[in-house]
Amino acid sequence: MSASPEFIRITDINKVRWLEFNRGPVNAFNRQMVEETRAAIKAAVDDNSVRVIVLASAVEKYFSAGADLNEFRGIKSEAMSVWVSMCHDIANTLRDAPKPVLAAIHGTAVGGGLEMTLHCDLRFAAEGSRFGQPEIQIAFIPPIATTQALVRLIGRSRTLQYLYDGSLVSAEEAKEWGLIDEIVEPDRLREYVQSYAENLATKSATALAAIRETVTKGGGLTFDDGMALEYEVASQLADTPDFAEGIDAFLEKREPKWVGK
């Protein structure tokens, strides 16, 4: 990124990059914020010093309020297609990333920011968080590849009900659905996610990328095509320095020294 973003706070801690939405008071996404988010995610993906990415919010009580609806007043299909293309680019970048992507969610999480977390590997939420996709209220649908991510994450019937209702659900209900993975005490959320991320950062980057590719991409394929992807990736791993180092370290009863980036 050529300049510091106005609406994204970027922090690096022990090979973990935090990308925090930062447009108070509620993190409503205008076009600039969407563009900055896309650029910040791409920069984190391309930076070899970053081993894990975390999406979070720097705004108290709000993770995301969705799109700033001033952006949509008077908008027509041509301009909307540009907006949705930006959103899909974010989804693709998150899903194609060769490194773990986590989400640390607190407060109210609705719309676009929440949608981005659906393309993360794990979603950690603070107690008391609330989740929703209220687009039905403006006769719209959530456009960050959300309809496709949700149906794969929580199933068709629950996705339809969730989007039809457009209401907020609690962290407990979201966890029961599989929308989030863990609930954490609010004052421990950042520490907890940072610790988890640092543990991931100690593992082979080559192996993490292979796991993410086979699970994320393979999950959208037929079983046979997914198995073919696994065959290809597993075979190629045998040629990597990290695989050789892992075998040697295990047999020599020492800690491995990973070299993959």
Q: What are the pLDDT digits (tens) for 160-212?
A: 999 999 999 999 999 999 999 999 999 999 999 999 999 999 999 999 999 99
191 Cβ contact partners less than 8 Å away, ≥ 6 residues apart = none
Q: Tens digit of pLDDT for each residue in 107-119?
A: 999 999 999 999 9
Is 107 in the same domain as 121? yes
Instruction: Give the full edge-to-edge strand order of the sheet including 182-184.
Output: 8-13, 16-21, 52-57, 101-105, 122-126, 182-184
Contact predicate 129/109, CB 8 Å: yes
In this structure, are 53 and 106 located in the same domain?
Answer: yes
Whether 242 is in a domain gets the answer: yes
Peptide bond into 25 cis (omega under 30): yes
Q: Measured in whole angstroms, how far is the alpha carbon of residue 180 from the centre of its chain?
A: 11
What does the pLDDT read at residue 205? 97
- Here the CATH number for the domain that contains residue 101 is 3.90.226.10
Domain that includes residue 197, residue range:
8-201
Q: Are 100 and 52 in contact (CB under 8 A)?
A: yes
Where is the domain boundary, 180, 201, 222? Answer: 201
Q: Which letter does DSSP use for residue 50 in this model?
A: -
**261 within some domain:** no
The whole-chain average pLDDT of the chain stands at 97
* Residue showing tokens 């959530």: 142
Q: Judge if 141 and 69 occupy the same domain.
A: yes
Q: Are residues 32 and 120 located together in one domain of the fold?
A: yes
Q: What is residue 68's three-state secondary structure?
A: coil
Q: Answer yes or no: is 109 within a domain.
A: yes
Question: Is residue 257 assigned to a domain?
Answer: no
Token pair for 102: 């986590």
220 and 156 assigned to the same domain? no
pLDDT of 1 > 60? The answer is no
pLDDT at 236 over 90: yes
C-alpha distance from residue 169 to each of 105, 141, 165, 247 (Å): 14, 18, 10, 46
Q: Are residues 164 and 123 in the same domain?
A: yes
Residue 3: what pLDDT? 76
Domain count, the chain: 2
Strands (E) in 68-121, as ranges, are: 101-105, 108-110
Contact 100, 78 (CB under 8 A): no
For residues 123 and 179, the answer to whether their CB atoms sit within 8 Å is: yes
Please report whether residue 183 resides in a domain. yes
HSE of 233 in the Cβ direction (CA atoms, 13 Å)?
A: 19
* Amino acid at the residue 133: Q
CA distance 155 to 32: 33
pLDDT the model gives residue 260: 78
Among 185, 201, 217, identify where a domain stops: 201
> Taking the alpha carbons of 34, 70, 6, 135 in that order, is the dihedral positive or negative?
negative
State whether 184 and 229 are in the same domain.
Answer: no
Same domain assignment for residues 194 and 226: no
In a domain, 179, yes or no: yes
For residues 21-45, give the mean pLDDT.
Answer: 98
Q: Domain for residue 72, yes or no?
A: yes
- Shared domain for 129 and 244, answered yes or no, is no
Instruction: With respect to residue 176, please indicate whether it lies within any of the assigned structural domains.
Output: yes
What span, in angstroms and rounded, lies between the C-alpha atoms of 173 and 125? Answer: 12
Answer yes or no: do 52 and 170 share one domain.
yes
Spatial separation of the C-alpha atoms in residues 206 and 140, rounded to whole Å = 40
User: Is pLDDT at 2 greater than 80 in this prediction?
Assistant: no
Known catalytic residues are 115, 135
For range 217-234, the mean pLDDT: 96
State how far the Cα of 133 lies from the Cα of 142, in Å rounded to an integer. Answer: 7
Q: Which residues contact 9 (CB under 8 A, 6 or more apart)?
A: 18, 19, 20, 22, 58
Whether 35 and 59 map to the same domain: the answer is yes
139 in the same domain as 88: yes
